Amino acid sequence: MQRRAFTYDLPPELIAQEPLAERSASRLLVLERGAGLRDAGFRDLPDLLSPGDLLVFNDTKVVAARLSGVKPTGGRVEVLLERPLEADRALVQLKVSKPVRPGLTIETAGGAVRVLEASEDLWRVQLPQPALAFFERWGEVPLPPYIRRPPRADDRERYQSLLARTAGAVAAPTASLHFDRPLLEALERRGIGRALITLHVGAGTFQPVRTQDLSSHLMHAERVSVSAETCEAIARTRAGGGRIVAVGTTVVRALESAALESAALEPRGTLAAWSGETRLFITPGFEFRVTEGLITNFHLPESTLLMLVCALAGQERVLAAYAHAVRARYRFFSYGDGMLVAPVRRAPASAAARASVHAAAL
């Protein structure tokens, strides 16, 4: 499969540079299997889903992960946190004009950062204090490269989900940015459930696919945790005939990675709790074991995120939906509008199956 099969034309002015005044005021393009496209809004979401459905969110919290520094020669360095390590160590990306060598000392507003060694395309560094505390104190919000303005104080709140609780991401799970308190409450009143996973989004999410042949592409590793509580919520939802709707591509990767790691899992079977690292690359032809619907933002051409959406909803249909979104002047990418890949309705499980799930959860 070739990368060029996932391209589309996007006028630059459609790339959202600012969040809307209200989170849930975003537009929502609904892609219904067998029923075409519908233009809607995020506030319509409770009516687009059914009582008993389950929304699964990523509760990762974005760290102020970007920090400016200076080399002894006076050259500028950008330090981007990828992952906290033990004690005062971290994995980072370093953006510099000349090659970096171990032993380099980078002066920052919070003190000296010492480069220890290379680790694939990242660098292991020593910081003045533990990574999360250091970057939260001295760093700034790592807005994506397609947002062509400096971060502001309000980005710390708006480039963060209301459900964020576990610090460790360097990019937001942007599908969840559309959910405000009134929308969450409306979904709850409708009888739509909520569950959480954690996938700490790494800086590699913005890295382009550099190989034309997708089989040669290696995904960056990201840390994942899918709890027993979430697995039980998924089992109860299925037993009652509800559908599993992932809020964002990170949730899809987390759930499907956990499914692949569950040795006893059968298709549409029992999901087991799992924590670990994933490099799962989802492209058309992938067999989804958990995910039935998806809420997602619009993604960059030829990106792994767009490929994942195409795998779930069909490549031609998704690219046709993107063409419609361009014509209809939707707002694209992190602060932009979103799309619902609507899940197919299905019948409830048998009474025996429901009893079995209930007994397993006790």
- Render pLDDT for 92-134 as a digit per residue (tens, 0 to 9): 999 998 889 999 999 999 999 999 999 988 999 999 999 999 9
**pLDDT number for residue 344:** 86
Residue type, 143: L
Cβ distance 84 to 272 under 8 Å?
Answer: no
pLDDT at 348 over 70: no
Tell me the pLDDT band of 34, cut-offs 50, 70 and 90: confident
Q: Are 168 and 84 in contact (CB under 8 A)?
A: yes
pLDDT > 90 in the chain, percent: 83
Output the pLDDT for position 97.
Answer: 86
In this model, does residue 87 exceed pLDDT 50?
A: yes
**What kind of architecture, by CATH, is found in domain 3-62+155-361?**
3-Layer(aba) Sandwich (3.40)
Quickly tell me which residue has 């499914």 as its tokens: 259
**Residue 264: pLDDT band by 50, 70, 90 thresholds?**
very low
Burial level of 114, CB count in 10 A (0-12/13-18/19+)? Answer: middle
pLDDT digits (tens, 9 = 90+) for 185-196: 999 999 999 999
Lowest mean pLDDT among 60-74, 99-113, 264-278, 287-301: 264-278
CA distance 78 to 138: 13
